[in-house]
């Protein structure tokens, strides 16, 4: 059985580790980082060329199943995968990690997009901890009245805010570390995406009384969906029978 995992996440790496040796697993990475964490099994780096290109790949490589374990905000590849699998008759599963839910003591402001976040931001604070990824920095480039601490794995390119400090780092992060970072930089608002997973920065923001501007997820394609890599491995076992 040949399984294509659309990866780049913790869940994708765990799934590859769970199924490598029992099936032939190929993990596809977008190639946006120069030194990605590599999963078990074969690794493919780069795009497919849209729905037609992915459909051709599924056919040429004789793929028996696709698991979309990409980032919750990777809407383009998720949509392409759904369309290509439907056209090719290849089973598709989406691994969608649970999102975050505000609790007591949280001050969250939900928005639908990064442009909407940029529009609301000046009303919430001026010293911004921005954890939305380097590709979204251009949306905040015109906010000269704000100072930004942007954390990403790779240096940003293109338009960036005028007052910007870049922190190159890769998690996991601790609550104590996030609390120290927010305090040291006098951050008064956190901007992030509802990515789910570890939430040390959200706990630190709650403890320090820092408001959070939360970008909601795009809708998922219509497909079977699970929330963990272990559940995805179980699904693959059912279609092997």
- Domain spans of the chain, in order of start: 2-97+218-240, 108-215
Does the structure show a pLDDT above 90 at 78? yes
In the CATH hierarchy, which top-level class contains the domain 2-97+218-240? alpha beta
| 2-97+218-240 and 108-215 agree in CATH topology | yes
**Which positions ≥6 away from 21 have C-beta within 8 Å?**
none
Q: Average pLDDT for residues 154-161, to the nearest whole number?
A: 90
- Residue range 117-146: average pLDDT? 95
Of all residues in the chain, what percent carry a pLDDT higher than 90?
88
Tokens of 204: 């630190």
**pLDDT exceeds cutoff 70 at 161:** yes
Quote the CA–CA distance of 228 and 98 in Å, as a whole number. Answer: 9
Query: 148: which residues sit within 8 A by CB, 6+ positions away?
Result: 128, 130, 137, 140, 161, 163, 164, 165
Residues 169-203 have pLDDT tens digits of: 988 899 999 999 999 999 999 999 999 988 999 99
Pick the CATH number of 108-215 from 3.30.1330.10, 3.50.50.60, 1.25.60.10, 3.40.50.1000: 3.40.50.1000
- Residue 155 dihedral angles phi and psi, to the nearest 5°: -65, 145
For residue 18, give both structure tokens: 């769970």
Task: Report the pLDDT value the prediction gives residue 37, as an integer from 0 to 100.
Answer: 79
CA-based radius of gyration for the chain:
19
pLDDT bracket for residue 125 (50, 70, 90): very high
Main-chain phi, psi angles of 43, to 5 degrees? -125, 130
**CB-count burial class (<10 Å; 0-12, 13-18, 19+) for 98:** exposed
- Mention every residue, 6+ apart, whose C-beta is less than 8 A from residue 201: 129, 131, 173, 178, 182, 190, 192
pLDDT in tens, 19-59: 998 999 999 998 777 777 789 999 999 999 999 999 999 99
Beta-carbon contacts of 108 under 8 Å, excluding residues fewer than 6 positions away, are: 102, 211, 212, 213, 214
Q: Please give the pLDDT value at position 241.
A: 60
Is the predicted pLDDT of residue 162 greater than 70, yes or no? yes
Q: Is residue 110 predicted with pLDDT exceeding 80?
A: yes
């Amino acid at each position: 059985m040949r399984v294509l995992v659309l990866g780049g996440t913790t869940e994708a790496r765990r799934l590859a580790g769970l199924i490598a040796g029992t099936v032939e697993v190929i993990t596809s990475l977008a190639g946006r980082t120069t030194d990605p964490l590599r999963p078990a099994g074969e690794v493919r780096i780069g795009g497919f060329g849209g729905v037609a290109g992915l459909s051709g790949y599924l056919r040429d490589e004789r793929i028996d199943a696709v698991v979309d374990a990409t980032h919750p905000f990777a809407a383009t590849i998720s949509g392409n995968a759904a369309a290509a699998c439907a056209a090719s008759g290849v089973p598709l599963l989406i691994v969608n990690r649970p999102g975050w839910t505000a609790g007591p003591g949280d001050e969250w402001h939900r928005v639908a997009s990064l442009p909407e976040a940029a529009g609301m931001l000046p009303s919430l604070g001026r010293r911004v901890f921005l954890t939305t990824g380097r590709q979204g920095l251009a949306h905040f480039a015109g906010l000269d009245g704000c100072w930004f601490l942007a954390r990403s794995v790779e240096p940003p390119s293109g338009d960036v805010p005028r007052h910007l400090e870049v922190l190159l780092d890769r998690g996991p992060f601790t609550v104590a570390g996030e609390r120290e970072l927010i305090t040291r930089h006098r951050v008064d608002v956190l901007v992030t995406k509802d990515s789910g997973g570890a939430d040390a920065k959200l706990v630190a923001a709650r403890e320090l009384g820092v408001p959070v501007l939360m970008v909601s997820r795009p809708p998922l394609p219509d497909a079977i969906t699970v929330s963990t890599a272990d559940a995805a491995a179980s699904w693959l076992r059912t279609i092997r029978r």
